[in-house]
Chain A
């Protein structure tokens, strides 16, 4: 009570945000949990059916196909999407020409601002087998037959991973650069006095000092890998669906296309559960608590 009196104004300021989260995050979450235990009909009685919906999803091979696709595509995005911006950030840090560095950062960051509708459309256009720039280039340079990148199983997942990494590279790169800038300059000075080369400075000063930033970025990216949706929704097609349909796509199809809201809600709670498990595993592996 005393605390409330002392900091009442600040609690009051927090109230709109708290209401927002209760209304738009927690209420739907609880409602979704309730739906997952119901034989949910759009109108009329919605009897509770225990764990039937969870069982239906668990025994659906399509769900496990989607799970496998999610792990492969999400895992690819997680790893490549971590390493690529790190390498770029370390490289940019070595660039001394400031205007070039800023311009490079800006160009890298722009795709992050675009929606998947735009990026997906651009990718489909660029990868088109007849008029796409990539195929025109391949035909011109190597004289090979055009590749239908977005219709062939062997390319489908790679394209999804590559385009996702490209889109978000600028954002993660800026986070890494912010971490690099925060490193104490005296460490570099001491290294230089000890005769360290640029490479040794990067290896023995920058990377260890960046460890905490890396852990945070890796964990944040881990939280998102099971929730990939927009990209797949825009870029998938029936020919590659079996290779790229992810868990959220499965949920969407069950809920919106087939109007089976009970199993869809159950599937989404499996995603929540898997995300929790994955997050704890990553925390443990990266010793996140030691940050």
Chain B
């Protein structure tokens, strides 16, 4: 009797285990649809698309893996995928991992998961993907597309960014990417009767005043002049010595200006800021979110970040308090000795079609749609009725839409014939005008990731005053040469 009981219980347990296993298998295989209808944090399934042969008709399904495009919440993402599907007439799966996007992309590609489109934000990664045989050549498609080949939709020269070494086009832009720059509290400048700095000495004086003259008026010495996130985008200041980030090719030889002797006085300048308490001492450990929060919390007068964020900062503060005096302003880099202003053009965000995409034609239809009025409206404003409403041609953002700041992956776009129904966020137009005037792309060779570790390590040591700048640069040069990462 006892044995029978044991057998029954065991069989029940095994049955339950097997059933739960089956259950989880089903859940996994159906995750694309559940992610499309469920979560902005949906995990990548092994077969996000095309597993159902019945629905596997060309143009009928579209699976997208994206880091930026979509809703801001699981609910918003569900509505976004539905709206996109309605516009395209397809069953759209939109997987938008909440974090570790690069790892998710690699895992998806390495595991053989099938997506029709993957969003990428790194040109070095594009080159790696080309080497790894991952991406589809889109040259003919782009040239034959009446939408994409139209220079008013995407300026012809821009396509050079998305070409491989073989001259073929491997991606299509998902938005217009601006540049990084020093962003300064204009209201603090006005309050302290200071002018926007044009030289390194003027910049020092401004930052010192931000530190010492109580610009937030709370009677406490609790503000910093400058904060950064490590070496992130200090280009605006290094410009003062004519130093461009990453590689610069000189007569066919690889050089890294940040590791040259000309960088020594710049690192000494930063070390002086740190020593005098003018620079946020956490700059080494800051991530960009911490840096942004410090700026929004009135703790720092200047940071170095994207032009688009000038508008975002002002908008966020105005939403918080319509009477705020907060006024962020994008600033041109400090001119170099010859008057040249160096600014960093960011790597673009773009779509690739993986070679194993089950529905490449659907993906191409999307790529053209994404540059159209409807696509840009969806990518910027979001979903009608959820993020915004239209009444007699008048657009109004809902509370959800206001929080999204008109950014569902496309805050700015190339297509000059598409105008936003809303005025631009405060300050952003001026910032972008600077980007367009001065920003240039950087040379990113395949050896840069290894070189970057050495440069960043010693640059941060020099900037934080742990090591004399001269020694730090000498050590940088020694290690870069030993590892064959620079030629001179």
Contact = CB atoms under 8 A, between A and B. Distances in A.
Interface of A: 9, 12-13, 15-16, 41-44, 61-62, 124, 128-130, 146, 148, 150-153, 237-239, 241-242, 253, 255-259, 261
Interface string B114-132: 0000000000010011011
Contacts of A62: 450
Interface string B186-209: 000000000000000000000000
A130 B284 contact: no
Given A13-B13, A151-B284, A239 B464 contact: yes
A256 B103 contact: yes
A43 B355 contact: yes
A238 B464 contact: no
Contacts of B131: 41
Given A238-B456, A238-B457, A42 B133 contact: yes
Nearest to A20: B21
B102 A43 contact: no
Given A42-B134, A151-B460, A238-B284, A259 B449 contact: no
Nearest to B18: A16
Contact of B466 (A15, A146, A151, A238): A151
Contact of B453 (A128, A148, A152, A241): A241
Contact of B464 (A12, A151, A256): A151
Nearest to B452: A238
A62 to B, nearest CB: 8
Q: How many B residues are at the interface, by size bracket? A: 35 or more
A238 B231 contact: yes
Contacts of A146: 281
B6 interface: yes
Nearest to A127: B285
A16 B460 contact: no
B55 interface: no
A68 to B, nearest CB: 16
Contacts of A12: 10, 14
B284 A43 contact: no
B132 A151 contact: no
Interface in B1-54: 6-7, 10, 13-14, 17-18, 21
B405 to A, nearest CB: 26
Given A152-B466, A258-B449, A13 B285 contact: no
Q: Which of A12, A148, A242, A253 has the most CB of B within 10 A?
A: A148
B213 interface: no
A231 B450 CA distance: 22
B282 A153 contact: no
Contacts of A241: 453, 456-457
A122 B133 CA distance: 42
- Nearest first, the 5 A-B pairs at minimum CB distance are A44-B133, A151-B284, A239-B460, A238-B456, A129-B281
B411 interface: no
